[in-house]
């Protein structure tokens, strides 16, 4: 009998990347639908914006826990589907023996929704963030999930509430099938296996996975800058990091507290079809952004490539302007005379386009250590300087990853704290539009002050350099 090798069933790298990206994006959209459905149930239970905002805070904190859990993707996929089925069918199985007066009480329902939010967020985040034997998800898929997933989940949860659970489970099914049945067809070797060790047999920085103890991240990385000539490239890293953190916190708390009361107001006004206009505007904005990206492919390459030196100041200035555009779009979404469907679609489309360009420029203006070393390797060889030691590079990359993980945790905690404040503001003002205008104006004012301070510091630095050169 003819024996077929296992390698004949594996996919090639390009096709495997497309298949996994499609399945991952479908599952992430299904999780977004479930999240919006959970927030819709919280709104129906309390009729206040503070309830869904508190659930978003619980979801955010649980997602931070989920990103730090590492085990087999099949396990977390099964746990996630079990949590979904338990949430959808739990009241009929667990609360059947309670009297109707107890079941209909708001506190018990809120506690059940909070528990469901914690379980769903932890399991789904751990499931989607697990390292698999498939090519990593590209930045475009992550941007589409981050920008369009919320509106798609809002549209399905509010316009199709009966079919939303089935649609969400159907969206999660391809990734579960890929994890359980087709893991042997992955084009990449299994981590820790014989094939992976054979591929990584050379002395490279990617081979060494350094494990750091908690609290050992060094405060001084000058030894890395001196060996990789990174000081010129890293100019402006700290202001960009602070700006990116502030933008992430403000936008995270706004889009955590605003969408559910906004959709409830549309349902009360019998205008839920406005959500279709919003989604259409986002799709048009992403199409325009894709055309711009293709036109500028000679300047903006892959995330692991540095920007050209002559374009870096211009793109850094554009990155400073884009958050102001997002703040102006938030204000436009809340202005009373811009509440027509097409005006709302244009406002959200402008925000989506600005956020997409911001998401593309930010990792290229703040490249990681491995990208800088690969891009400047020919300069080091031309200067007859030795390449950095692989173990030192691995240690530096581990420190950088630890620092970014810590920064992401701080941003998540700040989002979890700020989202209930925005929900309380919506209840206090009695209108989503007033809250959007107020948050957008404060956000724009803070960004303008930050840009002005940054410009003054840069001018003072250049003046000091000029005086030192003259002296």
pLDDT digits 0-9 by tens, 123-172? 888 888 887 777 788 788 888 888 888 899 999 988 888 888 889 888 88
Residues whose CB is less than 8 angstroms from the CB of residue 424 and which lie 6 or more positions away in sequence, other chains included: 49, 50, 53
Contact 84, 19 (CB under 8 A): no
**For position 212, what pLDDT does the model report?**
55
Angle CA 289–148–44, to nearest 5 = 155
pLDDT digits 0-9 by tens, 63-106? 888 888 777 777 877 778 877 877 776 554 444 444 544 444 44
Mean pLDDT for the stretch of residues 245-272: 88
The rounded distance, in Å, linking the Cα atoms of 24 and 147 is 15
pLDDT digits 0-9 by tens, 52-64? 998 999 999 988 8
Mean pLDDT for the stretch of residues 453-460: 77
**For position 128, what pLDDT does the model report?**
86
The domain ranges of the chain are: 10-182, 215-460
pLDDT band at 233 (very low <50, low <70, confident <90, very high): very low
**For position 383, what pLDDT does the model report?**
53
pLDDT digits 0-9 by tens, 15-46? 777 888 888 899 999 999 999 998 988 888 88
| The pTM of the whole model exceeds 0.85 | no
**For position 191, what pLDDT does the model report?**
58
Per the structure block, which two tokens stand in for 463? Answer: 């003046």
What are the DSSP calls for 315-363, one per residue? HHHHHHHHHHHHHHHHHHHH-GGG-SHHHHHHHHHHHHHHHHHHHHHHH
What are the DSSP calls for 240-300, one per residue? HHHHHHHHHHHHHHHHHHSHHHHHHHHHHTT-TTHHHHHHHHHHHHHHHHHHHHHHTTTTS
The rounded distance, in Å, linking the Cα atoms of 408 and 382 is 37
pLDDT band at 6 (very low <50, low <70, confident <90, very high): very low
What are the DSSP calls for 363-430, one per residue? HHHS--HHHHHHHTHHHHHHTTPPPPPHHHHHHHHHHHHHHHHHHHHHHHHHHHHHHHHHHHHHHHHT
Strand, helix or coil at 234? coil
pLDDT at 471 exceeding the cut of 70: no
Per the structure block, which two tokens stand in for 447? Answer: 């960004």
């Amino acid at each position: 009998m003819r024996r077929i090798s296992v390698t004949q069933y594996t996919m090639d790298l390009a096709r495997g990347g497309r298949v996994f990206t499609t399945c991952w994006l479908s599952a992430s959209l299904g999780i977004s639908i479930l999240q919006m459905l959970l927030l819709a149930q919280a709104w129906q239970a309390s009729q206040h914006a503070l309830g869904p905002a508190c659930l978003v805070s619980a979801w955010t904190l649980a997602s931070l826990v989920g990103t730090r859990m590492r085990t087999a993707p099949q396990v977390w996929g099964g746990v996630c589907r079990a949590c979904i089925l338990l949430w959808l069918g739990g009241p009929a199985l667990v609360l059947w023996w309670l009297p109707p007066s107890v079941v209909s009480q708001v506190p018990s329902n809120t506690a059940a929704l909070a528990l469901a939010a914690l379980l769903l967020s932890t399991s789904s985040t751990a499931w989607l963030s697990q390292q698999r034997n498939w090519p990593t998800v590209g930045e475009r898929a992550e941007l589409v999930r981050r920008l369009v997933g919320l509106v798609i989940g809002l549209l399905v949860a509010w316009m199709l509430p009966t079919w939303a659970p089935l649609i969400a489970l159907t969206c999660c099914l391809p990734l579960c099938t890929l994890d359980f049945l087709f893991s042997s067809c992955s084009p990449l070797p299994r981590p820790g296996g014989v094939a992976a060790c054979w591929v990584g047999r050379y002395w490279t920085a990617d081979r060494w996975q350094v494990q750091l103890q908690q609290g050992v991240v060094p405060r001084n990385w000058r030894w890395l800058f001196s060996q990789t000539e990174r000081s010129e490239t890293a100019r402006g890293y700290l202001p960009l990091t602070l700006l990116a953190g502030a933008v992430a916190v403000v936008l995270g708390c706004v889009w955590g507290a605003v969408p559910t009361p906004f959709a409830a107001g549309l349902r009360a006004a019998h205008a839920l079809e406005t959500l279709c206009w919003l989604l259409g505007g986002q799709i048009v904005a992403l199409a325009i952004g894709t055309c711009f990206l293709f036109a500028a492919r000679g300047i903006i390459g892959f995330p692991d490539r540095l920007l050209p030196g002559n374009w870096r100041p211009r793109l850094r200035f554009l990155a400073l302007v884009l958050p102001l555009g997002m703040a102006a779009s938030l204000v436009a979404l809340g202005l009373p005379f811009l509440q027509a469907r097409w005006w709302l679609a244009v406002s959200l489309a402008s925000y989506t386009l600005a956020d997409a360009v911001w998401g593309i420029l930010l990792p290229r203006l703040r490249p990681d250590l491995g990208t800088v070393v690969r891009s400047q390797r020919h300069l080091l060889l031309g200067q007859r300087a030795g390449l950095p030691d692989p173990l030192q590079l691995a240690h530096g990359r581990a420190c950088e990853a630890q620092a970014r993980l810590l920064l992401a945790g701080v941003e998540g905690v700040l989002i979890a704290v700020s989202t209930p404040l925005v929900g309380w503001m919506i209840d206090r003002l009695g209108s989503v539009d007033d809250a959007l205008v107020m948050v957008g104006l404060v956000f724009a004012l803070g960004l303008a002050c930050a840009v002005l301070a940054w410009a003054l510091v840069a001018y003072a630095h250049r003046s000091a350099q000029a005086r030192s050169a003259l002296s």
